[in-house]
Amino acid sequence: MAKIQMTTPLVEMDGDEMTRVLWKMIKDTLIYPFVDLKTEYYDLGLEHRDETQDQVTIDAAKANARLGVGVKCATITPNAQRMEEYHLKQMWKSPNGTLRAILDGTVFRAPIITSRVPPYVSGWKKPITIARHAYGDIYRNVEARVKAGDKADLVITHADGSQDVLPVAAYACDGVAMGMHNLDNSIASFARACFEYALSAGQELWFSTKDTISKVYDHRFKDIFQEIYDAEYKQRFEEKGISYFYTLIDDAVARVIRSEGGMIWACKNYDGDVMSDMVATAFGSLAMMTSVLVSPDGKYEYEAAHGTVTRHYYRYLKGEETSTNPVATIFAWSGALAKRGELDGLADLQAFAKRLEKATLDTIEAGTMTGDLAAMAQGEGIRKVTSQAFLDAIAQRLQ
Ligand code: NAP
Ligand code: MG
């Protein structure tokens, strides 16, 4: 069988621990036998990040911006314990944070659904994708505890030195105060990434804030989305037969629960943090959640939403065969290959990505799955297998 050819390389970002092991298994079992894979390889494993003073992450992000499509393995974000474990020179930043900053991107998380693991919300039939704004609000706040008798003001100092002083509170008892901000440019990038993603996915876009209460701050988000939609996207949405819909966050929550799914729900930073975990859990498993970073100028970076599955890795190091779920990482590869195929006009590469996803889902539907899914799956004939046996079963279907 002739292998499928590629024209432009994918930016391949290798990672850490159990997902690094899965990464190689997936390539060997499901990609190399079928595709003449072209990648520009960056090793984002923690040792190599440390050796290169994290330059490799910056190089990978720039390559992703240059080539347009990347696929990333889960990576360790160092903390104090990892500093010791890996004898690190520095507590390097989160690679995902570096990628987001360089690509100016928005993260979209979507569940992978099978009938074996039905969502907790019985009405949900189609995936719900959460788009989370990744800049500002409480994540870059300034906050303080305040004493009885204190006064808090919001002071805006203009470029000419003049000031507006807005009283926040006069404290009759001890309390707290917080200042936060956002930027029109960042909100506009977020809006464009959401509109682009909705067009690319052919799904409607919902956006929610609390602008009835936050009449300036949240209202600015609403206005920027609407202005960009009217000026740049309205016509393209109508041509594609999809819609853009704004509503209040509490109304959105109620509508999402009652819906069949199938929409992209754009959320402010905090709302997205909370709602993405709610939606992921309600769909069944973090191991079945994909994640794609989309920049406002249409660059894509695909990955799994879960981490490096450390507990399984320690068992693997002891020589045990693990039953770690590779589905989200397989879908990161299929997503990246499909996008590369779309951008380069390679119909057979796009078709292969579809077949890979179908073979993966069919394998689960037929009852063969990893332990995390087997523990909650419904129906007859469920077989818990190792990661490699699961990949082999998918490869057999692909053949
Ligand atoms: P995690 O790797 O997502 O794993 C947490 C637990 O969830 C696992 O112990 C496992 O439960 C279950 N799980 C997650 N993915 C699974 C899969 N594919 N198959 C089967 N079970 C799965 O999160 P963590 O343990 O909090 O973080 C580990 C490391 O990952 C950290 O160093 C963190 O910095 C990093 N991380 C990276 C990313 C990223 O690169 N995007 C995201 C999050 C975390 P059981 O042990 O009960 O089986
Ligand atoms: Mg969170």
pLDDT at 264 > cutoff 90? yes
pLDDT at 285 > cutoff 90? no
Give yes or no for a contact between 331 and 108, defined as CB atoms under 8 angstroms apart: no
- Whose C-alpha lies nearest to ligand 1, atom 46? 311
Of the bound ligands, which one is closest to the alpha carbon of residue 303? 1
pLDDT at 286 > cutoff 90? no
pLDDT digits 0-9 by tens, 132-180:
998 889 988 999 999 999 999 999 999 999 999 999 999 999 999 999 9
Q: Please report the pLDDT score of residue 140 as a whole number.
A: 84
Q: Residue 308 Cα, ligand 1 centroid: separation in angstroms?
A: 5
Residues around ion ligand 2, judged by CB within 5 A, are: 273
Low-confidence winner among 20-24, 165-169, 375-379 (lowest mean pLDDT): 375-379
Of the bound ligands, which one is closest to the alpha carbon of residue 286? 1
Q: Please report the pLDDT score of residue 100 as a whole number.
A: 86
Q: Closest by alpha carbon to 15, among 7, 24, 6? A: 24
- Whose C-alpha lies nearest to ligand 1, atom 30? 307
Mean pLDDT of 328-336: 98
pLDDT digits 0-9 by tens, 85-98:
999 999 999 899 89
Distance CA 73, CA 99 (A): 13
Q: Please report the pLDDT score of residue 225 as a whole number.
A: 98
Mean pLDDT of 355-383: 96
Q: Residue 76 Cα, ligand 2 centroid: separation in angstroms?
A: 16
From 72, 276, 309, 385, the mutation candidate for ligand 1 (largest count of ligand atoms within 8 A of CB) is 309
Mean pLDDT of 170-193: 96
Q: Please report the pLDDT score of residue 97 as a whole number.
A: 86
Q: What is the SS3 assignment for the chain? A: CCCECCCCCEEEEECCHHHHHHHHHHHHHHHCCCECCCEEEEECCHHHHHHCCCHHHHHHHHHHHHHCEEEECCCCCCCHHHHHHCCCCCCCCCHHHHHHHHHCCEEEEEECCCCCCCCCCCCCCCCCEEEECCCCHHHHCEEEEECCCCEEEEEEECCCCCEEEEEEEECCCCEEEEECCCCHHHHHHHHHHHHHHHHHHCCEEEEEECCCCCCCHHHHHHHHHHHHHHHHHHHHHHHHCCCEEEEEHHHHHHHHHHCCCCEEEEECHHHHHHHHHHHHHHHCCHHHEEEEEECCCCCEEEEECCCCCHHHHHHHHCCCCCCCCCHHHHHHHHHHHHHHHHHHCCHHHHHHHHHHHHHHHHHHHCCEECHHHHCCCCCCCCEECCHHHHHHHHHHHHC
pLDDT band at residue 234 under the 50/70/90 scheme: very high
Q: Please report the pLDDT score of residue 293 as a whole number.
A: 92
CA distances from 323 to 86, 159, 241, 365 (A): 25, 59, 42, 17
Q: Please report the pLDDT score of residue 361 as a whole number.
A: 97
Of the bound ligands, which one is closest to the alpha carbon of residue 130? 2
Structure tokens at 239: 């041509």
pTM summary value: 0.89
pLDDT band at residue 341 under the 50/70/90 scheme: very high
Mean pLDDT of the chain, nearest integer? 95
Q: Residue 371 Cα, ligand 2 centroid: separation in angstroms?
A: 24
Give yes or no for a contact between 72 and 301, defined as CB atoms under 8 angstroms apart: yes
Mean pLDDT of 172-197: 95
pLDDT band at residue 297 under the 50/70/90 scheme: confident
The closest-lying atom of ligand 1 relative to the alpha carbon of residue 305 is 41
Q: Please report the pLDDT score of residue 277 as a whole number.
A: 83
C-beta 287 within 6 A of ligand 1:
yes
C-beta 329 within 6 A of ligand 1:
no
Mean pLDDT of 321-326: 96
Q: Please report the pLDDT score of residue 273 as a whole number.
A: 85
C-beta 371 within 6 A of ligand 1:
no
Q: Please report the pLDDT score of residue 90 as a whole number.
A: 94
Of the bound ligands, which one is closest to the alpha carbon of residue 275? 2
The closest-lying atom of ligand 1 relative to the alpha carbon of residue 82 is 32
Residues in the chain: 399
pLDDT digits 0-9 by tens, 26-68:
999 999 999 999 999 999 999 999 999 999 999 999 999 999 9
Considering only residues 281 and 197, tell me which one the structure prediction assigns the higher pLDDT.
197
Q: Please report the pLDDT score of residue 296 as a whole number.
A: 81
Mean pLDDT of 197-204: 93
Rounded percentage of the chain residues whose pLDDT exceeds 70? 100
* Token pair 């204190």: residue: 150
Q: Please report the pLDDT score of residue 139 as a whole number.
A: 85
Beta bridge partners of 369: 384
- Whose C-alpha lies nearest to ligand 1, atom 16? 287
